[in-house]
Amino acid sequence: MVDIGAGAATVAVALQEALGNARQRRIEYVAFDPNLMMRALGERILGHVAKGFRSARYVPTLDDLDPNDGHRMLFAFSYVAHQDAVTTDHLEQWVSVIKEAVDAADRAVELIYTTAANLSGDKFPELGAMLKRAGITPKTKPVRVKVQRRYPSMDGSDGRVGWDWQDRNWQVQAEHWVLRS
């Protein structure tokens, strides 16, 4: 799994929460984030969750990805699609690493993206068009996500953190793309 715009490795934490030990153990988690502070935080978080994965690490640049890594490859973009800091140059770089992975592989390369619904400035339609121009037609499937809002709350006097659950759900938009040339 290649987590682009990984921030503090939240996708790794979510995988640990969602998967059983056996499935998590099969995953090589590779994170990239250009923000050095987020990366430093994420590396500390990986210090707690890495042992559940086959391997887990940050790469300093996208050039450090190995397109032949792994049996299947899933790119994750979690809450990166609307970032103002994402430019056309970045999209071109993403297309290039995704294309390398698709060309290297005799297997499906997949992509999943999640973002806040109903915001303008989603860059993924443009990414899809750029992939098509590069000879890769994404087969896209919407993903239905229902996440109830919750906020941390202090429970009692022992300082433990609990959750304050809200009635509303987060407005999440998510898609799963299967990529072949």
Which region holds residue 11: left if phi is over 0, alpha if psi is between -120 and 50, else beta?
Answer: alpha
**Residues 78-97 vs ligand SAM: string with x where CB under 6 A?**
xxx--x-xx---x-------
CB 13 to ligand SAM: min, Å: 9
Q: Where are the beta strands (DSSP E) in the chain?
A: 2-4, 28-32, 55-58, 73-78, 109-116, 139-142, 147-155, 160-170, 172-179
Among 19, 28, 35, 59, binds ligand SAM (CB under 6 A): 35
Q: Where are the beta strands (DSSP E) in 85-135?
A: 109-116
Q: Residues in contact with ligand SAM, total (CB under 6 A)? A: 16
**Position closest to ligand SAM via CB:** 7
Q: At what angle do helices 124-133 and 88-104 cross, to 10 degrees?
A: 50
> Interface with ligand SAM by CB under 6 A: which range of 3-11, 47-55, 66-74, 153-161?
3-11
Segment 61 to 80, residues that bind ligand SAM, using CB under 6 A? 78-80
CB 106 to ligand SAM: min, Å: 28
The 8-class DSSP code of residue 62 comes to G
Check residue 175 for interaction with ligand SAM (CB under 6 A).
no
Q: At what angle do helices 36-49 and 10-18 cross, to 10 degrees?
A: 20
Provide the binding-site residues for ligand SAM, judged by CB under 6 A: 4-7, 10, 33-35, 38, 78-80, 83, 85-86, 90
